[in-house]
Amino acid sequence: MKILDRYIIRNILVTFIFITILLQIISVIIDLSQRMHRLENNQGSIKDALIYYYPFWSIWLAYTFSPISVFLSIIFFTSRLNKHSEINAILASGISFKRITIPYLISASLIGMGALIINYSFLPLANKMKNKFHYQYLLSSRYKNKYENNQTISTQISNNEYLFIRNFSRKKNIGQDCIYQKFNGNKLIYLLKAKNIFWYKKHRIYILSNYSETYLNKNKDIFFKGVHKIQNFSMTPEELLPEEYIAETMTISELRKFIDREKKRGNSNINTHLNEYYQRTSYPFSNFILTLLGLSISSKKGEPAHNFIMGIILAFIYIFCTEISKVYSTKDYIPSYLSVWLPNGIFGMITFFLYWNRNRN
């Protein structure tokens, strides 16, 4: 590795770390100022938030916006080189633009590998800690009441079993009007109803009160009634009512199993989890696209400020395209894998054109 390569790689990495830390500090200050009243309303403190929430939130934020941080780092560093005509001097010395690209790609690889390591090891654990604090202290009173109480469970728990519960409380593990159905093909063969249902967490069982059960036979139905019944539905309340962002708290193997199970249950929100699954690979890959895009833009002749502004605009367009494609996927308009990779595809074509044009000139 030549001196020039080490110089470029070192400066890109230092710039990336600086921008990432700067964004963290600004984001924490803004976010904390907006959430202080919720902390106070939920008996939380700023000290607790700074210890138990924001360190983990910062890991999530750094990973989520790492492609943008890479892009801005490339724009900032290369514009600085271009301002002092260092790019032109390097090219005039006989080094090709393709050769200059190599240390940039090495930098993107190092950052991408770091993102993958964080993604597959630290990030799920950080998200668990972040979400635990968020649900306890940072929810609005209206949403917290909705999250903890009066939840409706309507789900398929196996290929031939269905469960319905009204007004289930996560906090008390109590629900009302429980209905359990079991089918043989399209024919209902067993029906269980209960006025109330209680999840006994210690023994991992459900206790039904004021229940009735019906066995629907070919010749004659058999009917029973009782006061209490112990029942095992093979799924915990956490599995029946998964948190909105539960996918981000799982490792890749756990997420794969979770998605398979939710598909069998017929979960209508499956695309949200699929988006999380596919973007764990697409995010690190986007570092390469945005690195080449940033290099192509910021190495052009012209005012560095103009190049930097163009970079900022493209960064926001990338974020916008990413979020819009996720929304379309969640609404079932496009497949999840396409929604996650579509922004990379669009910006990949833009990057190819700009890089080819810059290399030719």
Q: What secondary structure does DSSP assign to 19-41, as a single string? A: HHHHHHHHHHHHHHHHHHHHHHH
Question: Is-contact 211 229, C-beta < 8 A?
Answer: yes
* CATH code at 171-240: 2.30.30
Q: Is the pTM of this model over 0.85?
A: no
Give the DSSP per-residue string, 292-335.
Answer: HHHHHHHTSSS-HHHHHHHHHHHHHHHHHHHHHHHHHHHTTSS-
Do 154 and 164 form a contact (C-beta atoms < 8 A)? Answer: yes
> In this structure, which long-range contacts are made by residues 356-361, counting pairs with CB atoms below 8 Å and at least 24 apart in sequence?
357/296, 358/97, 358/295, 358/296, 358/299, 358/300, 359/97, 359/98
Residues 6+ apart with CB under 8 A from 42: 136, 137, 138, 139, 144
Candidates 61, 72, 68; CA nearest to 26 is 61
CA gyration radius, the chain: 27
At residue 20, the pLDDT reads: 93
- pLDDT, averaged per 10 consecutive residues of the chain (361 residues), comes to 86 94 92 88 87 92 88 88 80 84 92 87 89 85 71 83 89 90 90 93 91 87 90 84 81 86 74 85 85 87 70 81 84 84 88 85 67
CATH 2.30.30 positions along the chain are 171-240
**CA atoms of 247 and 250, how far apart (whole Å):** 6
DSSP state of 247: G
Q: Is the alpha carbon torsion for 350, 356, 359, 361 positive or negative?
A: negative
**Backbone dihedral angles phi then psi of residue 157, each to the nearest 5 degrees:** -95, -10
